[in-house]
Structure formats: C-alpha cells, structure tokens
Amino acid sequence: MTLAAAGLAVGAAACGSDTPAVQLSDAAAAGRSLMISSGCAACHGSDGGGGVGPAFVGLFMSDRPLSDGTIVTADRDYLVESIMMPGMKQVEGYSLPMPSNSLTRDEVDLIVGYIVELATSGTTP
C-alpha cells in the first residue's frame, strides 16, 4: 500500500505536457505560448534560445550594447519598449531590424514576464 502511494506521487510529479527547457510558472508558460503564436519564436527560438534574433535566456537585467554605442540594462521597461517599439533601440551586431507587431500592452507584459522568468528561474536556491 505504501509502495503504491509512493508510485502515485512520483507519477504525479513527473507528469507534465510539452515540457519547456526550464520549469515555468503558469503565467510564464502563457507568455511563452503567446510568444510562439505571435511568430517571435521564428527569430528568438521556441525556448528563447535565440536564432536570427538575440536569445531571451539570460536577457533580463543583462547589459545590452546598442548600435549607437551606448549600453543599457535590459530591465522590464527596456523589454517592453523593445517589443512595442522595435525600431527605438537596436542591439549591436544585428543587421536585421526586428519587425513591428500588433501586440497589446497586456500581451507584451505577458511575454516580458516569460523573459524575466527565463533569466531568474535558474537562480532559486
């Protein structure tokens, strides 16, 4: 009986659908889905690993060198601005400009939450 109970617990813990590279909260998982359905994954990767565009993994609060020679910290405001006004700040080293999109502010916040969690989820004790 105890064995069966332990087996059940292990089964429940291991159960997860479409397991992303890191364990995401429900909100971040929703942000990831939106990021994929909005076409961002084509350039930034379905797990934020990057591609034609920069990686989302480790992006939050990192220093970003811009094409105008300045360096900015990728805080929430920067991420929101990067998505809502892609032409405002250009990350150095990318010849391709990021295309604009028609996401609402709420949708952008959801994706930013995902990007934030990608950078912070690995650092919990």
Restricted to residues 92-121, the positions that interact with ligand HEC (CB under 6 A) are 94, 96-99, 101, 103, 111
Stretch that binds ligand HEC, among 1-9, 11-19, 22-30, 81-89 (CB under 6 A): 81-89
CB atoms within 10 A of CB 18: 7
CA distance 114 to 25: 9
What tokens appear for 53 in the block? 């565009």
- Our finding on whether 86 is near ligand HEC (CB under 6 A) is yes
CB atoms within 10 A of CB 56: 27
What tokens appear for 47 in the block? 């797990």
Binding map of ligand HEC across residues 28-67, x = CB under 6 A, - = no contact: -------x--xxx-xxx-------xxx----x----x---
The distance of closest approach from Cβ of residue 70 to ligand HEC in the complex, given in angstroms and rounded to an integer, is: 12
